[in-house]
Amino acid sequence: MLESKAVTGPYWEQPDPEDERLAYQLEHGREEHLLLDARPPAELNQVVLNTMQQTGPRFWVIIAGLGAMTLAFLIAWFIQIISGLGITGLNRSVMWGPYIANLIYFIGIGHAGTFISAALRLMRMDFRRPIARAAETITLFGLAIAGLFPIIHVGSVWKLFYMIPIPNQRELWPNFRSALFWDMTAITTYLIGSTLFMFVALIPDFAMARDHTTGWRRKLYGALALGWRGAEDEWHRLEVVSNILSFVIIPVMFSVHTGVSWNLSMAIQPGWHSAIFGPFFVVGALYSGVAAVIIVMIIIRKTLRFGYFLREEHFNAMGIFLLLLTLAWIYFYFAEWITNWYGNLPMEKAIQQMLTGPLAPLFYLMLFCNIVVPLATLWSRRVRTSLPAMLVIGIFVQIGMYVERVLIVAGSLSRNELPFNWVNYTPHWPEVTVTIGTLAFLGLLYALFTRVVPIIPVWEVYEGQAMQQVRRIGRAIAPTRTEVH
């Protein structure tokens, strides 16, 4: 494996260097870097497949808990449809509330998946390899649940099909001039695109699962693998189609959250009507999305015992990524805030006064979660590589970003041009139940998904390991990546 000596045996059975010091360094490097620590794929395949097949009672207890919460959400939704939106806390001024905040939140956590797999793929960042699928799965289910929220939100859900552009007897088509229509097309595009992108990358892993399972799983994976053999031209086309999808899906990803923000900023509501909302929301989405990926990485590492695949280096890299996004988010929030503050326009002033007045606890909680916590901790490598610390930081960021969305949606609406109509908003039980229930629903879908689909893209890990070499520089060794196109 050292330098370019001819090798015998597979890449995972390379002899250690004869120099003891270098051998020691290599041993150390293997502990640290996943891609240096090559092991036989036969063994790693089983590690991944066993986690899918071996399910303990604790898993089913968790599934039952999440299922019960999901059921509570469905019941609350049903009651809301039957009795009308009157049971929520919404009112004549605050017509959009946590349902729209949830839409933004769930689309937001769905953003990191594609960014990690598509953008980092194009930039050839190796740390994405074991993370990509876990992140894409959040995208898939986050988006699907986000797509539920407009349905939960509308008053006449039984008429919602009017929004679909299909020929009909009413001779009426949806209004493409509405930002809601843009948003709908953007979410549909993103959901279909992410699904295709994820499926293409899954084909080799389905083939792996097909080869090493029995019974119904073998049949299922056989059908999903589409007859993949891993032939050269198949790989070549897979790489190219992944690159095409990556290039198209990155602008679509930006457009999705921009579209969501435009739902707000196209309105002339003070506090919403701001040109910065597009990029601001995209950065916010990535911020909460990366934090969500970190939380999920910790959970699957702990519960599925993926210590081999998800290592300190990955949490470190994600921590640095999160820190960068913290800074970007602060920049955008500050730019938005100071513009409004300096302009001193009556309506914008009223909104800022409300945020620092009656809503001050939430506002300062948001600043604490989004600014103080990450900035105070993430600069330290020890924090970034400590799982409990990263879990806590991830949860803080989730809380902060959720509160931010609620403040933007419901907070801004409670102040409008005619002070006679200033009404404050307090959530009632349906909003709370639906919000918690949909989070549980996300967890439920995710947990069941990990039983069926390899949550670690093993072929990407093998690719990294096969293409990795160590090079001797003086008295040290350094990992280098081999790239042949």
Residues 418-437 contacting another protein, CB under 8 A = 418-421, 423-424
Widest CA span in the chain: 83
Q: At what angle do helices 215-225 and 179-211 cross, to 10 degrees?
A: 120
Nearer to another protein, 158 or 216 (CB): 158
Contacts of 456 (CB under 8 A, 6+ apart): 48, 130, 133, 134, 306, 309
Considering only residues 287-346, where is the footprint of another protein by CB under 8 A? none
* CB of 138 closer than 8 Å to CB of 110: yes
**Does residue 255 bind another protein (CB under 8 A)?**
yes
Task: Quote the least distance from Cβ 38 to another protein, whole Å.
Answer: 9
Strand duo 476-481 + 468-473: pairing: antiparallel
Task: Quote the least distance from Cβ 276 to another protein, whole Å.
Answer: 18
Nearer to another protein, 193 or 319 (CB): 193
Task: Quote the least distance from Cβ 390 to another protein, whole Å.
Answer: 30
Task: Quote the least distance from Cβ 166 to another protein, whole Å.
Answer: 5
x/- track of binding to another protein for residues 86-105 (CB under 8 A): x--xxxxxxxx---------
Q: Residue 110 and residue 102: Cα distance in Å, rounded?
A: 12
Q: Which amino acid is at 206?
A: F
Residue in the structure block whose two tokens are 């299909």: 166
* CB of 417 closer than 8 Å to CB of 271: no
Task: Quote the least distance from Cβ 48 to another protein, whole Å.
Answer: 11
- H/E segment holding residue 473: strand 468-473
Other C-beta atoms lying within 10 Å of the C-beta of residue 480: 12
Considering only residues 206-245, where is the footprint of another protein by CB under 8 A? 207-208, 211-212, 223, 226-241, 244-245
Nearer to another protein, 268 or 473 (CB): 268
Task: Quote the least distance from Cβ 70 to another protein, whole Å.
Answer: 24
Of the candidate spans 38-46, 61-69, 124-132, 397-405, the one that interacts with another protein by CB under 8 A turns out to be: 38-46
Considering only residues 159-178, where is the footprint of another protein by CB under 8 A? 159-160, 162-178
Nearer to another protein, 15 or 419 (CB): 419
Q: In this structure, what token pair is assigned to residue 437?
A: 């229930």
**Does residue 267 bind another protein (CB under 8 A)?**
yes
Q: Which amino acid is at 463?
A: E
